[in-house]
Structure 1
Amino acid sequence: MRVRNLVSAVALSTALVTGAGVLTDAPAKAAPVSTDLGSVDLGSSDLLTPNSIFLWQGIATRYIVVLGAKMGTYGQTPAILDRRLNVAARMAKQHPFNRMIVSGGNTWWLPVSEAQFMNLGLIRRGIPMWQMVNEGRSTSTVQNASYTVGMLKAMGANGAVIVTNGFHMGRALGDFRAAARKQHARIEFRAAYA
């Protein structure tokens, strides 16, 4: 009983600090912050999906790639990027030995890349920093693909799951496959919709 009360107190204080609780009248502006600091989610039914099986078959050679999105003027995370980070975090917890590449460069006038903002968002969702690799030079989907494929090839990858939104997925997969052909990289790409 004391443990339940302690957990409830921690959840309540976290909700009050982050503004994600029901005690505020204003709607939450950001995704709720996870209080889960790095646990592995092996009890999920998502472990038998094609993407999950794909990642488990090549722990050292298959990556999760998360594409960035333009940040707000003051570094606010757009809703489309929040959805990408939520999907990526869930996958990373289910596959703690697969590395993740966060891809995105220019953030307008801010001295921080989209990839670095995404690092913070993933850390807040319980993903350890060692699981992430940054690609922070790209300013377009074509450059996301070109630079990330170069990194994947250099790391000996043979596959990657691309995390982006549905409206963006077709173009992103096309760009990644074209970049792999151009760089003579034998990498299979799969879609993970946010």
Structure 2
Amino acid sequence: MRLRLVVSTALLSAGIALTGAVAPADAAPIGPAPHTAAGSSGSADFGSSGADIFGPAGTFLYQNPGGRYIVVLGAKMGTFGQTPDILNRRLSVAARLGRTHPFNRIIVSGGDTWWLPVSEAQFMNVGLIQRGIGPWQMVNEGKSTSTVQNAAFTVRMLKAMGADGAVIVTNGFHMPRAMKNFRDAARQQRARLRFVPAYA
């Protein structure tokens, strides 16, 4: 395991993800926000050039690839399906985590947006594919229309899939509310889940 981490670090230092795809230039850094966020695992960030192999989110995902998911929260799309900047940042962070941790699946969470007959989750599928994530690594939650519903519906899915936790990907201003909503949903559904933030 230690050798695998060292090899992964060397590859990522060269700008190459484990899948062989080159990391996008616009990818946002992953890891703790300038302040200490609620729900952080407390692990030290050893400075992995933003790849987050050793940071809280990366360590958490490596500990149980089959039972820990990456959850990226949607945002309202533009009238004609334009992706807002805050969602682009979330997708870039989720894609970097997904390429670094290819055995951890990504749940995209977001329902219908505006008048378009396409959910935020489906738009997010396209955004992740463009960032080097295969469709087989994604799971859609396409019914939620608020952060409370993102949490409730995603927790239900995580519980049904036998997960023991997830990394929540969203922007810093949104993270405290998202983490609270996910913890509340887990408590209400009696789901033993742990959540770790990854800031976009």
TM range (shorter): 0.7 to 0.9
Cα RMSD of the aligned pairs, angstroms, is 1.8
Deviation at 1:126, TM superposition (A): 0.6
The letter for the 2-side match of 1:144 is N
Calculate percent identity across the aligned residue pairs: 69
Cα distance in 2 for residues equivalent to 1:39 and 1:128: 13
Structure with the bigger percentage of helix: 1
User: Per the alignment, in what secondary structure is the counterpart of residue 174 of structure 2?
Assistant: helix
SS in 2 for 1:116: helix
Would you say 1:61 and 2:42 are equivalent positions? no
CA contact (8 A) 2:109 2:121 kept: yes
| Paired residue secondary structure (1:167) | coil
The CA deviation at 1:40 is 6.2
1:84 to 80, 84, 90: 90
Structure showing greater Rg: 1
8 Å Cα contact 1:55/1:62 also seen in 2: yes
* Deviation by residue 1:55-99 (Cα, 9 ceiling, x = unmatched): 000111000000000000000000000000000000000000000
C-alpha contact 1:104 1:139 (8 A) present in aligned 2: yes
Structure-1 residue corresponding to 2:150: 144
Structure 1: distance between partners of 2:198 and 2:176: 11
- C-alpha offsets along residues 29-52 of structure 1, whole Å, 9 cap, x if unaligned? xxxxxxx9x5368x9652111211
> Quick check: 1:161–1:191 contact (8 Å CA) kept in 2?
yes
Mapped pair 1:160 → 2:141: no
Q: TM-score, normalised by structure 2?
A: 0.76
- Figure out how many residues of one structure are paired with residues of the other and give that number: 158
Q: Within 2, Cα distance between the matches of 1:170 and 1:135?
A: 21
The 5 A counterparts of 1:9-158 are 39=20, 46-158=52-164
**Deviation at residue 106 of structure 1 after TM alignment:** 1.6
Aligned 8 A contact 2:110 2:150 in 1: yes
Aligned-residue offset at 1:175: 0.2
Contact 1:40 1:94 in 2 (8 A): no
How many angstroms apart in 1 are the aligned matches of 2:20 and 2:67?
22
Structure 2 gaps of 5+ residues are: 1-16, 23-47
Question: 2-side partners of 1:69 and 1:138: how far apart?
Answer: 11
Q: Is the 8 A contact 1:39 1:126 kept in 2?
A: no
- TM-score (normalizing by structure 1): 0.78
Q: Which residue of 2 aligns with 1:171?
A: 177
